[in-house]
A and B are shown apart, each in its own frame.
Chain A
Amino acid sequence: MLSPAIENLVAQLTRLPGVGTRTAHRLAFHLLRTPTDEALALAAALREAKERVRFCADCGNWTEEEICEICRDARRDRSVLCVVEQPADVMSLERTHEYRGLYHVLGGALSPLDGVDPEDLRMDDLFRRVDSNGIGEVVLATNPNTTGEATASFIADRLRGRVRVTRLASGLPVGGDLEYADEVTLGRALSGRREV
């Protein structure tokens, strides 16, 4: 029999993705054993993040300002917009240091089975941005899976004729040997081959 306070902590932890009851118990007991100021630092960080962080009014990325750093950066190319599903995808693309345009974070992908329709994503904002801001190219960087592909095709249909629309190539993992690539990936890379 646990105290109600512990039960409550466990219940809150269980709500996190990937955390089952057993892990929740382990985390709860760990937190109870750690010094008070350390444990409360977690609570404070959580509060601060929740209070300060919000979505960028332009692109939908996480930010502590009204407009995020990327959108404010005058050196970025404002004629290219890269559409991604999640803020985490922005981070991945930023790590490449290859992309100099702006982003648009949809907040997910179309998935009727999960109740996600176009109106549940930041679609209208996207179309508005494309219409008003002198954008010349939209790069579709949604995931190459069932929901990501449908999301890309929905956007491509809407933007056809209004702006240049491109899709991230799907291909081979770099550093891997052709010999060890799985056939589906290799087949996709083959059908997406380009002139050199």
Chain B
Amino acid sequence: MLAVGSNGAGKTNLLESLHVATQGFSPRTRSDAQLIRFGEAGALVAVTGEHRGSSVAVEVTLRPGEAKRARLNGASLRAAEELRTRLPTLVFTPDRLVIVKGGPAVRRAYFDRTLGRLFPSRAAMSADYASTLAQRNGALRRVAAGFSPRDALEPWTGRIAELGAALVSARSELVALLSPAFARAASALRLEDAELRYEGTAASPEELEARVEQDLARGSTGAGPHLHDIAIVAGERDLRSFGSQGEQRLAVLSLLLAEVDLLAERGSAPPLLLLDDVLSELDPERRAILAATIRRSGAQALLTATSAGALPVDPDVLIRVTPGQAVASA
């Protein structure tokens, strides 16, 4: 599907609403109030479709100052965000370039979410590690300030070592799995010799113990997966710091396409792809490659552009967006 319309017509708005309806949150903002049309008392997104051969109907309701409500096939979900464990959606927007050019924290968060999508049983690992780490840092500060005895640290050191090792091995496995698919997708888009590398090793209880004086002094834990990074390289070049804007965009797209590939390999239903403003930044050859790759994947995709000519092939559905209206034609 291709949504076309002039700047400010509401294309991104349409794409965002599909994200809210299938994932329970906006890819752009954490503030749900921003999603409600100015001057209105609430917002509702309802979509129907098919997933794994059965029909799905989702309804997400937003009201300022209230928790979002989501219903999947009529049943209320505990939290709207629960949708993301039920319906797979992958999104590209221009601000996603931060995955490559931003700081390590952005990449960790991105790959931890990918981990949860590809291995649903591992979805909670990074949050479990983070809450345990926060407790250990709290314990460090209490011990340093003399509020707590030294042994108050022990269980937390043991737990972050244990959870940290599990997280590092899960992330390493993910990166090893993702890297070849990433290289294939990148190469198809003419970004050659692309590779992902996990940077960091787990901190053993002994290592954590050995650096405890330092940790006490700084009031936080100075080793472990919360400080690791994932290198995104092409040949000899590290795209994190030396990639051009264009290469960084190709890398983000390749990450997304690699995930589509892996989901298919693992027998998962193809995700919904939401690609905002990607065509205008690609040359005609790469637009054609992207369109063909999406076709082949069998995933349903919504792309946006200012004119229908931006896509070198005819879309299955063309949506014309004007302020307040979206009209589809097959």
Interface of A with B (CB < 8 Å)?
Answer: 110-113, 115, 117-119, 146-147, 149-151, 153-154, 157, 182-184, 186-188, 190
Interface contact A115-B122, CB-CB below 8 Å: no
Interface contact B159-A150, CB-CB below 8 Å: yes
Interface contact B149-A184, CB-CB below 8 Å: no
Q: Chain A residues near B156 (CB, 8 Å)?
A: 110, 112, 150
Give the Cβ gap from A78 to chain B, nearest Cβ, in Å: 28
Interface contact B148-A117, CB-CB below 8 Å: yes
Question: Which of B123, B131, B155, B156 gathers most chain A CB within 10 Å?
Answer: B155
Q: Chain B residues near A183 (CB, 8 Å)?
A: 85, 120-121, 123
- Count how many pairs of residues, one from A and one from B, have CB atoms less than 8 Å apart in the complex: 66
Question: Which of A113, A147, A190 gathers most chain B CB within 10 Å?
Answer: A113
Residue of B120, B135, B147 touching A150 (CB-CB under 8 A): B135
Question: With A149-B159, A153-B159, A183-B121 in contact, do A113 and B138 touch (Cβ < 8 Å)?
Answer: yes
Q: Chain A residues near B136 (CB, 8 Å)?
A: 112
Q: Is B228 part of the binding interface, using a Cβ–Cβ cutoff of 8 Å?
A: no
Report the Cα distance A66→B138, complex, angstroms: 37
Report the Cα distance A157→B154, complex, angstroms: 9
Q: Is B134 part of the binding interface, using a Cβ–Cβ cutoff of 8 Å?
A: yes
**Which residues, 107 to 165 on B, are CB-close (under 8 Å) to A?**
120-124, 128, 131-132, 134-136, 138-139, 141-142, 147-149, 151-152, 154-156, 158-159, 162
Question: With A111-B135, A112-B148, A183-B123 in contact, do A157 and B155 touch (Cβ < 8 Å)?
Answer: yes
Further pairs besides A112-B141, A149-B132, A183-B85: 19, Cβ < 8 Å: A111-B138, A112-B135, A112-B138, A112-B152, A113-B135, A115-B142, A117-B149, A117-B152, A146-B128, A150-B132, A150-B135, A153-B155, A153-B159, A153-B162, A157-B155, A183-B120, A183-B123, A187-B120, A187-B121
Interface contact B155-A182, CB-CB below 8 Å: no
Q: Which residue of chain A has the shortest Cβ distance to B131 in the bound complex? A: A146
Q: Chain A residues near B141 (CB, 8 Å)?
A: 112
What does DSSP make chain B's interface, helix, strand, loop or mixed? helix
Give the Cβ gap from A38 to chain B, nearest Cβ, in Å: 36
Interface contact B142-A184, CB-CB below 8 Å: no
Give the Cβ gap from B160 to chain A, nearest Cβ, in Å: 9
Residue of A118, A157, A187, A190 touching B152 (CB-CB under 8 A): A118
Q: Chain A residues near B159 (CB, 8 Å)?
A: 149-150, 153
Interface residues on B, range: 20 to 34
Interface contact A110-B155, CB-CB below 8 Å: yes
**Which residues, 2 to 53 on B, are CB-close (under 8 Å) to A?**
none
Report the Cα distance A3→B149, complex, angstroms: 48
Report the Cα distance A150→B148, complex, angstroms: 16
Question: With A117-B148, A183-B85 in contact, do A153 and B123 touch (Cβ < 8 Å)?
Answer: no
Report the Cα distance A190→B134, complex, angstroms: 28
Which 5 pairs show the lowest CB-CB distances between chains A and B? A187-B121, A183-B120, A154-B155, A112-B138, A112-B139
Q: Chain A residues near B135 (CB, 8 Å)?
A: 110-113, 146-147, 150
Interface contact A118-B151, CB-CB below 8 Å: yes
Question: Which of B122, B147, B148 gathers most chain A CB within 10 Å?
Answer: B148
Q: Chain A residues near B149 (CB, 8 Å)?
A: 117-119
Report the Cα distance A193→B216, complex, angstroms: 39
Report the Cα distance A42→B161, complex, angstroms: 50
Report the Cα distance A151→B139, complex, angstroms: 13
Q: Which residue of chain B has the shortest Cβ distance to A190 in the bound complex? A: B121
Give the Cβ gap from B61 to chain A, nearest Cβ, in Å: 23
Q: Chain B residues near A184 (CB, 8 Å)?
A: 120-121, 123-124
Question: Which of A110, A147, A150 gathers most chain B CB within 10 Å?
Answer: A150
Q: Which residue of chain B has the shortest Cβ distance to A182 in the bound complex? A: B85
Q: Chain A residues near B132 (CB, 8 Å)?
A: 146, 149-150
Interface contact A113-B134, CB-CB below 8 Å: yes
Q: Chain A residues near B158 (CB, 8 Å)?
A: 150, 153, 157
Report the Cα distance A184→B128, complex, angstroms: 12
Report the Cα distance A119→B123, complex, angstroms: 34
Give the Cβ gap from B204 to chain A, nearest Cβ, in Å: 16
Residue of A115, A146, A147 touching B147 (CB-CB under 8 A): A115
Interface contact B142-A112, CB-CB below 8 Å: yes
Q: Which residue of chain B has the shortest Cβ distance to A150 in the bound complex? A: B155
Give the Cβ gap from B253 to chain A, nearest Cβ, in Å: 27
Q: Which residue of chain A has the shortest Cβ distance to B158 in the bound complex? A: A153
